[in-house]
Structure 1
Amino acid sequence: YFHFSISWILLAVFIYIFRKHQCTQSLLRHKKLNEINKNEEQYIKACFDELPSWVFFPDIERAEWINRIIKQAWPYANQYLDQAVFRDVLVPLVRGTSSTLADFSFQKLDLGEIPPRIGGVKVYTDNVRDQIMMDIEVVYAGDAIIKAKLKGIVCGIKDIQFVGDIRIILSPLINTIPLVGAATFFFLKKPSFDFKLTDAGTLVDIRGLHDLLLVQINDIIASMMVLPNRQVLPFVKDIPIGYLRWSNPQGVVRAFILRAQDLINADIVGKSDPFVKVKVPGSIEYRTKTIDNTLNPEWNEIFEFVVEQYESDSIEFEVYDEDHVKDDFIGRAQLRLNTLVDNDDINTWLTLQDVKQGSLNVSLQYFSLTKQKSALEIIERKNNVMIKREKLSKALLVCYIDRCLNLPRSKKKHREPNPFCRVKVEGTETKTQTFESQTNPQFEHISQILCANPLY
């Protein structure tokens, strides 16, 4: 009637089916990409009944592409680090520590051809808002040669070895390029550092003096860049970033080191003399007393630590056999702090790692921080049921010492002062770095003091 061929109807049906198929495929691809963006691991596991043994999803990721960039750019970094880091930052810092170092200078800086490597990167996303936080393992065993001059004497170092875990926090996040206002960076614990001395340094390259020098260098690094100390690198102007230097602890963990059993015997004659080292990133490392001649020691000791990041950090235990020359390692264990947050008290046996046998019995408590005065009564009741021979804390005092201005000169010697600050609370004392011959010292020092009687 309308003079239409049947082929036109078939063509229309084909176009309809084809368009519907295209739309369906597009929706499926869109849904797939959304699922991958939300959780790639769950998506891949849902797509396969059984994954090959070599497929895994680690928390810490390798970053070989970063290592390739560093390797390519390393020859060009020499001049920048020479001026921007060594001469503009380190030289004034060293000269400011003592008047005897007033003429300190770097004579030679050769970074060599072997760059540092990034061993692994872990980026935190859970419970981390308004910032980007990552932990980076830095490893360096290169051919750099550094020579410094003091009082006309040249001393150099070579064969530098360095291993450390550095945390980088990109904050505050802003709505203009470069999207990040500043980078805060610090080491979670003291890095491992070693080197060989050259030139005049070979005269003091004796094992005891060399170890003492390493201790001094590690202490300087700790005072600058190991938690709770931190460095801030601003990316933009006119943004307040002073608060980033502040320590922002999240809580306090109380560790009861109770006992161990079936420890390995590290002594030829008799049995091991075990003790335990306990540490949390950014806090003081404590150790128990030594129990002589036993593989099943009982300590019953309590230690308290300030926690910077419970989402990412762990409490670490290392067991040693005490010896006169060098203590023998007989096991380690750790426990993630985020497992403590929703529990009042955890009493558990931890299997010691890196040894054939042994376990450690610990009891742990986590206390979140609050400014409410009523919380003191709650923690007082908890403290009363604990081991009463220990002095347990009830509050945390965080003291940030920024700087001093216009300090008076010495009237007797008519010279600039050598200022430092000391903070003392309930017998606990902390001290800032001493600045030689300065009337306007910039300390930027953080003290964290646990208080047993905060109301008195």
Structure 2
Amino acid sequence: MGFFSTVLGFFGFGVGLTLGLGIGYYIFIYFQPSDVKVYTTDEQELIMEPSVKWAGNPNITVLVKAYGLKATAQVIDLQVFALPRITLKPLVPSFPCFAKILVSLMEKPHVDFGLKLLGADLMAIPGLYGFVQETIKTQVANMYLWPKVLEVQIMDPAKAQKKPVGILYVNVVRAVKLTKKDLLGKSDPYVKLKLTEDKLPSKKTSVKRSNLNPEWNEEFKLVVKDPESQALELTIYDWEQVGKHDRIGMNVIPLKDLTPDETKYVTLNLLKSMDANDPANEKFRGQLTIDVTYKPFKEGDSDIETTDESGVIEKAPDGTPEGGGLLVVIVHEAQDVEGKHHTNPYARILFKGEERKTKHIKKNRDPRWEQEFGFVCEEPPINEKMQVEVISRPSSLGIHSKESLGYIVISLADVINNKRINEKYHLIDSKNGRIQLELQWRTS
């Protein structure tokens, strides 16, 4: 029932339906949960039967044809009474919690209105009102009277958020003979890693300055949700101080090609794109060497073990809004941050107009804060983003102003779905800077 409660909670403050009239005008109908009959079945679906009543005087004009003549009339005093059945199915574990909406009518609708033409009420013509009423009821009923339905696709169920099933351990070892991108015959390469079909930010290695044969030996962990369809995507970029970073080359490793719990050492030829027919792939762009291990969860493993540290997610404190929760941000540390004039870093968090700051640490390129901040949310911030920036504050006697040492922008959808994420992020507008953040979504 927990999953059904999630879906019901989505409708807990009332439901809105937008009805298109086919002439560029839309009606928004709002009804309270007390007006709705809700059913749950053995299938992965939720069925609602609201009683819809709407009345208004919208600005609608229609074209009237009769006896070979045409005239434009205005619709007045529109009233709609209907008893629809709304089915949400199948239920899926990602927002908005259902993949399709199916709408049908449990009985013929009642639509009442007037037609005004040149100051005269057309509906006053004897016999016309009843004829129009029955025509509308018959036409609408023929299309949508149950069991006939109007089906609206919301999302592809196959792409719904899946639960983590394992961890992919990646060690980026080295690259050799990379393509020269800079004018002086050098490149400043770094590697970006991500799993396909994953909305989490990409992970990045450090930047190696003026090096066509860089050595990294940097390790990463990525959460796997579907080893049969996902692939590890690796792209090498040439870092630029100003402007867009140039892509040197890329390649992918399908996870289905990996044997669980066995380390695979791979040397990949870098390609222009993954299009097998792209003639640009024939050009040599260098090679990337990595070792990779896929470790599926054993039976009984907790989903929250997809983070760097295990532990139980605490519940939100008393007083947290029902249906909402507490978004916790733990700023652990940063590495390789450096300002032009001073390096006295602190982290600033911006979320929905609120700002929080860590303490500042003097003359330190690898600051460790270990500070926790909480944001009370009325509802899950599934579509929200959070910005975290590392800033250097000048000394009291300094003549220079504060400097930005880099920033990141985090989409919170996966934090809400997975309850906890603990990641190291490469700072944007920073050469090698990284920051480690832990985000938790606590509910009552």
For the superposition of Structure 1 and Structure 2, which TM-score range results when normalised by the shorter chain?
Answer: 0.3 to 0.5
Q: TM-score, normalised to structure 2's length?
A: 0.38
Q: TM-score, normalised to structure 1's length?
A: 0.37
Q: Which has the higher helix share?
A: 1
Q: Which has the higher contact order (CA 8 A, sep 6+)?
A: 2
